[in-house]
Structure 1
Amino acid sequence: MGRRASTLTFAAAVVVLLTAIAALLPVPYVVLMPGPTSNTLGSVEGQGEVISVSGRKTYPTSGHLQLLTVSVRGGPGARMDLFDAVRGWLDSADAVVPRESVYPEGQTREQARQLNAEEMAASQSNATTAALHYLEIPMDVVVQAVLKDAPAEGVVRAGDVIVAVDGEAVADPEAVRAAISAHEPGDTVVVTVERGGERLRLTLKTVDGGGGRAMIGVTPSARVRAPLKVDIKLEDVGGPSAGMMFALGLIDKLTPGELTGGAFVAGTGTISEQGEVGPIGGIQQKLVGARRAGATVFLAPAANCADTRGAVPDGLRVVKVASLEEAVTALDTLREGDAAKVAALPSCA
């Protein structure tokens, strides 16, 4: 072999070696993939019912109200190289995105797990509150926390049930906040609470909580009123995006008839205590996961509509919703089957 050929062979070997080394180096990306799905009307093996209710009459359900998840490859504590990224780019169901768009810089695996667990717990609480408000089932408004050095400190206690503000009954945390913030800072407000079987009228002077908004320093929260008990559980799933489907599942269990009419419906979306449906991440992967699971209808947050374009699998109808009420109305319309009304349902198309 001549010197020129030897040089070219050596150079080619070096290029191959360097390429292999570069491909094995970590890259700052993660891959989003369709994750496991669960029926909020059903059970999970080894865990029992996803939504269980006691203390109030429940009704048979059928069909699916399927919540969806996104699996992530390459998160905190996990290694992803160029080969992993290329595999993700080649799979149309996956998305390769910068790691910092999913995980804040420096976040550890344990911090990510804890945040996901907290968001899931909040979504379950919000879903319960939104569903019971929709069904006009009364809840208690309790003091979740009292801020240090606030007017309420030493007067109001965590666990107090707020019955009224300035003599007007309050039915939810938002009503408490609105009644207090209707005052000017420095005004006096009377909060009626139940504590240990007693009803107390507590007089407090408001302060400026920022921007001229009056506050007394309590964090109100909704709590299911006994004897009703609602338990939502789903292990190994985190984040806030199952909120709407939890709320729909609870409504279906607490009302006569079957919300889905036996159909396979999937969906995603955060939920507020007031029933507002908010956007989520990874909707393209959830669309794929829904169709793979067998769904024919997909309830999508209105704010995510633009993200669904060009990503809807064949055989899946996407209906956009912005509130829990809109989601229930859409399911009622689909179940009743009036062709004109079904055709008029808002779509992301």
Structure 2
Amino acid sequence: MPRRTATMLASTLMLIALLCAGVLIPVPYAEMSPGPTVNTLGDHGGEPVLQISGRKTYATSGHLNMTTVRVTSADYRMNLVEAVYGWLAHDNKVVPHDTLYPDGKTEEQSTQENAEEFSQSQESAKVAALKELDIPVTSWVIVSTVVKGSPAEGRLHAGDVIKAVDGTAVKEPGDVAKLVTKHQPGDKVVFRIVPAKEQAAAEKARRTATATQDVTITTAASDDSGAKRAIVGISAGTDHTFPFTIDIKLADVGGPSAGLMFALGIYDKLTPGSLTGGKFVAGTGTIDDSGKVGPIGGIEMKTVGARSQGAQYFLTPAENCAAAAKDTPSGLRLVKVNTIDDALTALEDIRGGDTADLPKCAK
């Protein structure tokens, strides 16, 4: 066989071998890409995203779109060819698998966690919007989760209202841990609670729950690194009673990043006129009960998704601004926000056409 032919054959076989290896060899990466955007002022799946009853609402116009990111599943094993393609693709982002699924988290665990965060973000969005409108919201501290195998298992239950710990009134979720960790492991701690069933019955009957119980729990030692702390094995959260009904209907979405856009949509429906002035505004950001906007993941994917749907302005959490500004889609204007007040002020300028001084995102 001539040397030139032999060389070409060897090169071809090597190329085929490399391609086969690239397809067959898994790599520890996952992929993020732009997901759907949904107008919080409109319909999705045939019904309004925001449904408010028991309170007067007003017509809205324009868009206040929440944005999403698609990610590969926890058990998907990307090969080398796909990873290289993802790195080269402008609209996708390849990241280490552990970034999306840390500590070997399963698809089911990730979905459950995202669902819980999504539910909490809805509650905080409602609270932030109503507080902005000076509409009273009743809040209390609850048992959010109980760790399996912990001292609290079977003694406290998710949804129990925590009124006091060792006789000291509890006003914020953080108060619970502070009061428990005053003890040494092995000490007894007394929780005064309203059982979840009693609280639910009281809410349904629109009355104040008064039936309390004292529950004594022997603390255990924390199993994390550092000094051992007294723990009972619960996480505390906040629950609320609203003066009217606000339902958010949006399936197959998880995580906390739609909080800001839900809050703005609720505010818009409860106030005369249009927040956007008919403009197409999208955005993202977590929100807490006080209206503070927090950072999210996948900002680059969300701006691409928003612009592809026609967004002109993008409300961007301040802590995400630098990343978003590195590669902003043409025609999309980033607007930096730290709070719901910042967002409302920006929307006032947008609908009035006074956009020269909108807060900018810098690289």
**Alpha-carbon spacing, 1:311–1:111, altered in 2? closer, same or farther (3 Å):** same
Distance 2:103 2:89 in 1: 26
- 1:165-221 CA distance string (max 9 Å, x none): x9x9x9xx64x8679979x969xxxx998975565899999xx9x99xxx9999452
CA contact (8 A) 2:53 2:246 kept: yes
Over 3 Å counting, the alpha-carbon distance change for 1:76 and 1:160 in structure 2 is closer
Which of 305, 325, 338 is residue 309 of structure 1 equivalent to?
A: 325
The CA deviation at 1:109 is 1.8
CA contact (8 A) 1:75 1:99 kept: no
- Output the CA distance in 1 between the equivalents of 2:333 and 2:282: 10
Contact 1:123 1:241 in 2 (8 A): yes
Q: Distance in 2 between matches of 1:100 and 1:107?
A: 9
- Listed one character per residue, the Cα deviations across residues 270-313 of structure 1 (whole Å, up to 9, x for unaligned) are 11122111111111111111111111111000001110223112
For the pair 1:336 / 2:352, whether they are aligned, the reply is: yes
Equivalent runs, 1:138-157 vs 2, <5 Å: 138-145=136-143
Unaligned 5+ runs, structure 1 = none
Deviation (angstroms), 1:345 = 2.0
| Residue number in structure 2 paired with 1:68 | 67
Report the secondary structure of 1:343's partner residue: coil
- Pick which of 139-148 and 83-92 moved more: 139-148
Does the Cα contact within 8 Å between 2:295 and 2:318 map onto a contact in 1?
A: yes
Corresponding residue number in structure 1 for 2:128: 130
Match of 1:109 in 2: 107
1:9-33 CA deviation, whole Å, 9 max, x = no partner? 4532431232122210322222221
Aligned to 2:59, what secondary structure does the other structure show?
coil
Post-superposition offset of 1:99 = 1.6
Distance in 2, matches of 1:218 and 1:93, equals 38
Compute the TM-score of the two structures, normalised by the length of structure 2.
Answer: 0.76
* Residue of structure 2 in register with 1:319 after alignment: 335
Separation in 2, partners of 1:332, 1:178? 38
Q: TM-score, normalised by structure 1?
A: 0.79
Deviation at 1:59?
1.0
* C-alpha spacing 1:306/1:343, structure 2 compared with 1 (3 Å): same
Give me the whole-angstrom Cα distance separating, in 2, the residues matched to 1:96 and 1:180: 38
Determine the C-alpha separation between the residues in 2 that align with 1:220 and 1:320: 29
Amino acid at match of 1:289: G
State the percentage of identical aligned residues.
45
Q: Is the 8 A contact 1:143 1:218 kept in 2?
A: no
Q: Contact conserved, 2:143 with 2:161, CA < 8 A, in 1?
A: no
> What amino acid does structure 1 have at the position aligned with 2:129?
A
How much is the aligned-residue C-alpha RMSD, in angstroms?
A: 3.9
Range 191-200 or range 323-332, more displaced: 191-200
Q: Any residues of structure 2 matched to 1:116-265 within 5 Å, and which? A: 116-145=114-143, 160=161, 174=172, 197=207, 219=236, 221-226=238-243, 228-265=244-281
Change (3 A) 1:224 1:62: farther
Aligned length: 331
1:201/1:113 Cα in 2 relative to 1: closer, same or farther (>3 Å)?
Answer: closer
The residue matched to 1:123 in structure 2 has which SS?
A: helix
Determine if contact 2:98/2:104 at 8 Å carries over to the other structure.
Answer: no
CA distance in 2, matches of 1:144, 1:325: 28
Contact 2:32 2:70 in 1 (8 A): yes
1:27-75 CA distance string (max 9 Å, x none)? 22222211111000011124x1111111111111111000111112x43
Contact 1:129 1:222 (8 Å CA) reproduced: no
In the alignment, the residues of structure 1 paired with residue 162 and residue 95 of structure 2 have an alpha-carbon distance, to the nearest angstrom, of: 46
Q: Contact (CA 8 Å) 1:140, 1:161: kept in 2 or not?
A: no
Distance 1:203 1:10, change over 3 A: closer
The one-letter amino acid paired with 1:138 is P
- The equivalent of 2:358 in structure 1 is 345
The answer to whether the 8 Å contact 1:75/1:103 transfers is no
